[in-house]
Amino acid sequence: MKTLQAEQPQHWQELLQLFTYDFSADDKIEAAVREIIAAVRERGDEALLAYTRQFDHIDLQAHELRVPAGALPVARQQVSEAFLEALAVASQNITSFHQRQVEANWEFEREGVRLGQRVVPLAAVGIYVPGGRALYPSSVLMLAIPARLAGVQRIVMVTPPRPGGIDPHLLAAAELAGVHEIYQIGGAQAIAALAFGTAAIPRVDKIVGPGNSYVAAAKRQVFGMVDIDSIAGPSEIAILADETANAEWVARDLISQLEHDVEAKAVLVTTDATLAQRVAARVNELASQVARAAIVQESVQRYAAAFVVRSLEEGIAAINEIAPEHLEIITASPRLVAERITNAAAVFLGPYSPVPMGDYIAGTNHTLPTGRSGRFSSPLGVRDFCKHVSVVEYSRAAFEREHKHVETLAEIEGLPNHAEAVRAKKD
């Protein structure tokens, strides 16, 4: 873990570069994904099954793609009571937080003109839950619960198949979250199936959830045919701390995110040079000792830094510039500091609010913008599963009063038939 100094201009550039992520895929991945999508559009389930054999080394039949409803209660019997209890608490907290995001229809009247907005849930949503070595039942809750609260009538989960079937922890989470359909299919081929539909998997209107570079490329390529949430980059954490912070706790919090991926990013921004030295030394020491050490060591070497600033104001400016996915504020007055943070996806205040609390149990969503996109993007929420429909109703008197302005503007813009459409209705 390297140490950077705010007083050196080139170190500011290093900090920015650390959090800047290229969301484009390389040409080989884009071409491979384009071929997969075309094959699924043309050959449907046959292509899905062929790619499952090729990439996942599992031989399925079309009727086996969908997980039977009876598998869900069985899954509950295969997991621990402690897991079910944790899942229930997380679900309750996520529901409580996201219920407050539910929007109501509204309208108002202006001298014979009635205007309004209707909030309409999407009809069908696909949630992608990654496979690989790690399990993400928490992601099932984070993706499906807001969709359910929005009123989505068909929530479809896809996840890569495993020998022996989908892990029961994922199935238990899906049942609790209100998922309606589950398919054991992953990769770019799963995204293509959700976007265009096959005989076994009807299409959806939106796809959410993270995945590898092939999944990200597929989401990018099907966007427009369906909506997507975002293109997810590697996990990020920034900690803004002063001399009150505990170096051991800060080091552990940084490593908690570095274990996600060899490209995960972690930075300590601090006014205290001594804290920076102690945290960097401890992170370097722990990197070879913790679980998932191979991943942590590489991410520490490539993407971990302590950035020493000359004032808290300079630290706040640095945070707003890098727009981190997760921000912990561990200072004497964290709430006052938080009021000045404009670019961070999720903010955690004080030493007892580490990022893992938000990852799992607090209730806020852990599907967050990365790669400095927190400057213009928001966490996943109920609004992402809704459409907003504008409603316009003119009385005759209001039409007679305002149509002349339409004619004027339409003529200026060179659209005479717009003007004629209102002239035809004049007395």
Q: What is the pLDDT of residue 411?
A: 97
- Of the listed ranges 13-27, 61-75, 113-127, 191-205, the least confidently predicted one is 13-27
Burial of 201 (0-12, 13-18, 19+ CB in 10 A): buried
Average pLDDT, the chain: 96
| Residue keyed to tokens 């969301």 | 23
**Mean pLDDT of all residues in 313-341:** 98
Domain 2-21+233-363 has CATH 3.30.70.260: no
* Selected catalytic residue, list 175, 181, 259, 325: 325
Sheet holding 206-208, edge to edge: 181-184, 154-159, 124-128, 206-208, 227-228
Q: In what order do the strands lie in the sheet with 386-394?
A: 106-110, 113-121, 386-394
Res. 327 pLDDT band, cuts 50 70 90 = very high
**Stretch 348-354: mean pLDDT:** 98
| pLDDT, tens digit, 9 for 90 and up, residues 123-144 | 999 999 998 667 899 999 999 9
Q: Give the pLDDT confidence of 69-95 residue by residue, as tens digits.
A: 999 999 999 999 999 999 999 999 999
Describe the chain by its helix, strand, coil percentages, rounded to 5: 50, 20, 35
Q: Which CATH number fits domain 27-228: 3.30.450.90, 3.40.50.1980, 3.60.20.10, 3.10.180.10?
A: 3.40.50.1980
Residue 134: per-residue pLDDT:
73
pLDDT for 316 equals 98
Quote the CA–CA distance of 308 and 2 in Å, as a whole number: 11
Percent of all residues in the chain with a pLDDT value above 70, rounded to a whole number: 99
Whose CA is closest to 122, among 153, 100, 85, 91? Answer: 153
Beta bridge partners of 241: 270, 330
> What single-letter amino acid sits at 244?
T
Extents of the domains making up the chain: 2-21+233-363, 27-228, 395-423
* pLDDT digits 0-9 by tens, 289-308: 999 999 999 999 999 999 99
Catalytic member of 236, 326, 328, 366: 326
Residue 224's Cβ-side half-sphere holds a number of Cα atoms within 13 Å equal to: 4
Do 2-21+233-363 and 27-228 have matching folds?
yes
Over 80: is that where the pLDDT of 23 sits?
A: no
Confirm if 142 and 363 have CB atoms less than 8 A apart: no
Residue 232 has pLDDT above 90, yes or no: no
List of residues 6+ apart from 124 with CB closer than 8 A: 152, 153, 154, 155, 156, 202, 203, 204, 205, 206
Parallel/antiparallel/unpaired status of strands 386-394 and 113-121: antiparallel
Is 57 known to be catalytic? Answer: no
Instruction: Give the C-alpha distances (Å, rounded to integers) separating 13 from 76, 240, 307.
Output: 50, 18, 12
Q: What is the mean pLDDT of residues 376-380?
A: 96
What are the C-alpha distances in Å from 79 to residues 67, 145, 168? 18, 21, 7
Confirm whether 285 is a catalytic residue. Answer: no
